[in-house]
């Protein structure tokens, strides 16, 4: 059961990312700005590589980490699967 729950959470990451992007586009339009003027930084601290990979696969490339070691560990795992 735990593996199924984990897969559902992982699958939701890309959907959540797309939802945030839509909201940014709407807010930018309401403010008279272009969405390209806004940078979305996905904070990946404490998140497993599988979740980060979902968002990466959805097209996002700007991630934030608190600790260099976590970035060093995660980055090759995410980008090497492209």
Reduced 3-state DSSP string for the chain: CHHHHHHHHHHHHHHHHHHHHHHHHHHHHHCCCCHHHCCCCEECCCCCHHHHHHHHHCCCCCEECCCHHHHHHHHHHHHCCC
When comparing pLDDT for 2 and 65, which is higher? 65
Tell which residue, 37, 30, 29, 40, has the closest CA to residue 62: 40
Q: Both tokens of residue 29?
A: 């339009």
- pLDDT, position 1: 42
- pLDDT, position 9: 54
Residue-wise pLDDT for 38-75, tens only, equals 999 999 888 899 899 999 999 999 999 988 888 888 88
- pLDDT, position 20: 95
Spell out the residues 6+ positions from residue 3 whose beta carbon is closer than 8 angstroms to its own.
none
Least reliable range by pLDDT among 6-15, 25-34, 67-76:
6-15
When comparing pLDDT for 31 and 11, which is higher? 31
């Amino acid at each position: 059961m735990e593996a199924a729950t984990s897969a559902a959470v992982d699958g939701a990451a890309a959907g959540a990312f797309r939802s945030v992007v839509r909201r940014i586009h709407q807010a930018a339009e309401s403010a008279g700005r272009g969405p390209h003027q806004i940078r979305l930084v996905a904070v990946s601290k404490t998140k497993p590589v599988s979740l980060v990979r979902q968002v990466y696969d959805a097209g996002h490339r700007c991630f934030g980490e608190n600790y260099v070691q976590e970035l060093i560990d995660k980055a090759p795992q995410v980008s090497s699967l492209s």
